[in-house]
């Protein structure tokens, strides 16, 4: 196993259940491609470990078999393959893929079956990912390349730090990155033994969480360091309600928690080069170009083609977190303004149904697409005037950064990463040229509507709106700063 003296810069294994464009359900997929890409540009030897879902196996080229692994009697035999993930024109990241057909080769989603229910064997599916992460990060690894740090992401890799803790040989230090505490990977206690964890780990001082096994608690408890995807969220999770029951443990580990804001992948999200939009633009040419993109979007979505009416938009997983229940209530009032609304989302069936009904009330002004559509999400970000993000909580959030980068000022609930990345329009922030959107504080329809009203008023003042657009577009949301902050944690852990 390499020590810090054998090579200067740390080797990092990045264990993740999703990575764009091979498999993605939300922002974690984006981050898992862009952050390792940025780290490699900074000369950190980071490599990815992902499960071999069908889209991963069909999406990778030149895969090479590395090892056959029988990790535990509970896991079917698995084969480890290597390949590379091209994250932009000049950078690719080495990729390890776990091929285990019994656990990963099936139709449906990454976490959910075709009826939207959790796969019943998720403990096994992500237990295998966690266990493989721990194996590759220890002196028992079948590979010559052994990391100094294992960078785990969310509950799906939460058992990796626990397995490493109980491994008696040499092992990597662990970082547990928290992207969303609402998902914790809780399973019945009989999984503890099946997953090969010692009985003593099933305690308050360990993996136990109110009588169940919690993958996420395991990660938080045993990791050497913890990160969250914004400084605001790092503070929020140490209290109720956003600690989701883990606030006590997180507060105890307060000194080991670092909040680092995500960046955006400007190779994928760049209005000057975006292949999905009709008229490309920059912070100098955005005014006329955005209008072209807006008219094209209005036509595509069946809205009245009108260059002057403010066009609001939202793109989201449809879940309680994202506050679309509040958005639904606000939407009926929104059309009291001269305004249009376009929404793209998929998820909670009851929200999907309500959104479809909403669009039927005023099809010339409200358009809804129930789908997961990467290309359309780019066209909406470029064509809309203003982006809505009423999330109840938001660990970081990417769409508010994409929209600012595309000259589409956002209206956001003042929480977590939204608070950290959007500057509310006030006379002071306007004078400082930092204003880039609108905050609302109370999670109520009326507070949200008040912020939307402020946005409509600002939109009617063309000079003011242009200032907001420009300051959002000129902000640096690139990954460089965040990637170096992760490098500092890695150095600390070495
Ligand atoms: P979360 O990870 O909580 O869903 P983020 O804002 O971090 O939230 O990231 C969401 C990512 O998923 C963004 O890249 C967003 O564009 C994308 N996304 C969400 N829903 C859809 C959809 N229905 N169609 C296309 N992209 C979507
Ligand atoms: C989670 C969070 C989101 C964050 C993303 C990537 O899915 O909900 O706020 O941007 O992870 O870190």
Average pLDDT over residues 338-356: 96
**Distance, CA 107 to ligand 1 centroid (Å)?**
21
Q: 286-476, superfamily in CATH?
A: Glycogen Phosphorylase B; (3.40.50.2000)
Does residue 373 line the site of ligand 1, with CB under 6 A? yes
CB atoms within 10 A of CB 369: 20
Rounded CA separation 450/468 (Å): 18
Does residue 411 line the site of ligand 2, with CB under 6 A? no
pTM of structure: 0.93
Rounded CA separation 45/487 (Å): 11
**Distance, CA 78 to ligand 2 centroid (Å)?**
29
Atom of ligand 1 nearest to the CA of 398: 6
Does residue 398 line the site of ligand 2, with CB under 6 A? yes
Rounded CA separation 333/311 (Å): 14
**Distance, CA 406 to ligand 1 centroid (Å)?**
16
**Distance, CA 394 to ligand 1 centroid (Å)?**
12
Token reading at 289 = 């170009």
Q: How confident is the model at residue 281 (pLDDT cuts 50, 70, 90)?
A: very high
Domain with CATH 3.40.50.2000 in the chain: 11-263+480-493, 286-476
Rounded CA separation 265/78 (Å): 32
Which residue is it, tokens 């091209």?
Answer: 86
Token reading at 149 = 């740090």
CATH for 11-263+480-493, among 3.30.360.10, 3.40.50.2000, 3.40.50.150, 1.20.120.420?
Answer: 3.40.50.2000
CB 69 within 8 A of CB 142: yes
pLDDT digits (tens, 9 = 90+) for 138-171: 999 999 999 999 999 999 999 999 999 999 999 9
Q: What is the pLDDT of residue 7?
A: 59
Ligand 1 atom 4 nearest Cα: 26
Q: What is the pLDDT of residue 286?
A: 83
pLDDT digits (tens, 9 = 90+) for 11-24: 999 999 999 999 99
pLDDT digits (tens, 9 = 90+) for 387-439: 999 999 999 999 999 999 999 999 999 999 999 999 999 999 999 999 999 99
Average pLDDT over residues 456-482: 95
Closest alpha carbon to 98 in 73, 122, 123, 130: 130
Query: What ligand is nearest to the CA atom of residue 387?
Result: 1
Is 90 exceeded by the pLDDT of residue 332? no
Rounded CA separation 155/112 (Å): 15
């Amino acid at each position: 196993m390499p020590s810090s003296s054998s090579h200067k810069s740390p080797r990092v294994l990045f264990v993740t259940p999703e990575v764009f464009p091979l498999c993605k359900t939300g922002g974690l997929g984006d981050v898992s491609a862009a952050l390792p890409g940025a780290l490699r540009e900074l000369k950190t030897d980071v490599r990815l470990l992902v499960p071999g879902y069908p889209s991963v196996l069909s999406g990778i080229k030149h895969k090479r078999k590395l090892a056959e692994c029988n990790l535990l009697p509970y896991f079917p035999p698995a084969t480890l393959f290597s390949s590379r993930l091209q994250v932009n024109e000049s950078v690719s990241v080495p990729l390890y893929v776990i091929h285990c057909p019994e656990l990963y080769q099936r139709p449906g989603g990454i976490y959910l079956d075709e009826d939207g229910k959790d796969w019943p064997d998720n403990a096994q599916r992500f237990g295998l990912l966690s266990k493989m992460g721990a194996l590759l990060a220890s002196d028992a690894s079948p590979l010559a390349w052994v990391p100094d740090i294992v960078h785990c992401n969310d509950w799906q890799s939460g058992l990796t730090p626990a397995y490493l803790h109980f491994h008696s040989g040499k092992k990597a230090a662990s970082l547990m990155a928290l992207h969303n505490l609402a998902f914790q990977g809780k399973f019945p206690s009989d999984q503890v033994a099946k997953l090969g964890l010692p009985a003593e780990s099933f305690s308050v001082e360990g993996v136990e969480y109110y009588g169940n096994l919690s993958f996420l608690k395991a990660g938080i408890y045993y990791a050497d360091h913890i990160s969250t995807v914004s400084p605001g969220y790092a503070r929020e999770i140490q209290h109720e309600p956003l600690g989701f029951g883990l606030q006590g443990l997180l507060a105890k580990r307060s000194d080991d928690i670092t909040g680092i804001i995500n960046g955006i992948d400007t190779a994928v999200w760049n209005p000057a080069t975006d292949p999905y939009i009709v008229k490309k633009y920059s912070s100098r040419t955005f005014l006329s170009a955005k209008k072209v993109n807006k008219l094209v979007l209005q036509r595509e979505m069946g809205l009245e083609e009108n260059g002057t009416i403010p066009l609001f938009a939202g793109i989201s997983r449809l879940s309680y977190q994202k506050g679309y229940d509040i958005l639904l209530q606000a939407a009926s009032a929104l059309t009291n303004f001269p305004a249009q609304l376009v929404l793209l989302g998929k998820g909670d069936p009851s929200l999907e149904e309500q959104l479809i009904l909403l669009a039927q009330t005023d099809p010339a002004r409200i358009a809804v697409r129930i789908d997961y559509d990467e290309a359309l999400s780019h066209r909406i970000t470029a064509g809309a005037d203003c982006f809505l993000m009423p999330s109840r909580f938001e660990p970081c959030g990417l769409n508010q950064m994409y929209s600012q980068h595309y000259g589409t000022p956002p209206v956001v609930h003042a929480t977590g990463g939204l608070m950290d990345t959007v500057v509310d329009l006030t006379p002071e922030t306007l004078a400082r040229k930092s204003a880039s959107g609108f905050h609302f504080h109370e999670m109520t329809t009326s507070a949200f509507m008040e912020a939307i009203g402020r946005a409509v008023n600002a939109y009617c003042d063309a000079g003011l709106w242009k200032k907001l657009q420009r300051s959002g577009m000129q902000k640096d949301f690139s990954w460089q700063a965040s990637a170096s902050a992760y490098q500092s944690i890695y150095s600390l852990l070495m």
